[in-house]
Amino acid sequence: MTGLDTGRVTGRVAAPVRAWAPGRRLAVIAAALAGLLTVNLVIYAIGRALGGTFRYTQNGGSVPVEPVAITFLSLGPLVSALVVTAALARTWPVFLRIARIAGPVFAVVTIGVMTLPADFDMTSTVCLAAMHLVTIPAMLVAFDALARRRPRTAG
């Protein structure tokens, strides 16, 4: 048999798995971050159009959540997760698999820990919860770009 041993004898040569080029990785990660921010700002705009105030009570005062806060609270956690995952996955590759599970779980848990107890109006709560959920596909796309795939060669 020629080519890769895939467990089946087909008589054909399997194509090698291509490695992600560093520039492609960065482009995919940048696209995931830009997509996350864009979608979250659109959700914010829709929420405002539907009457959401995006205000919560803190120390007896009303605190607004503005687009700048949406930007930092959207990108900050994802960038932090990517930096930690990239650093740990270099020496402990299984960490990437752990991050692919823990990241989405964390995104859902933070809805209950941060958004629900914050005393937002219903529209704002639903929109902010949706923003947490939008983080999941962006995170998974970015984690996939971090995966270090090495080309397989015929042996």
For 139-149, the pLDDT digits (tens) are 999 999 888 65
**pLDDT at position 131, please?**
98
Question: How many domains would you assign to the chain?
Answer: 1
The set of residues, in sequence order, having a beta carbon less than 8 Å from that of 93 and lying 6+ positions away, is: 148
Judge whether 6 lies within some domain.
Answer: no
Judge whether 152 lies within some domain.
Answer: no
Judge whether 14 lies within some domain.
Answer: no
Instruction: Quote the domain boundaries for residue 65.
Output: 22-146
Judge whether 58 lies within some domain.
Answer: yes
Spatial CA neighbour of 129 closest among 60, 47, 26: 47
CA dist., res. 143 & res. 92, Å (int): 14
Judge whether 9 lies within some domain.
Answer: no
H or E stretch covering 79: helix 67-91
Judge whether 16 lies within some domain.
Answer: no
**pLDDT at position 17, please?**
47
Judge whether 8 lies within some domain.
Answer: no
Judge whether 13 lies within some domain.
Answer: no
- Each residue of 85-137: pLDDT tens digit? 988 988 999 999 999 999 999 999 999 999 999 999 999 999 999 999 999 99
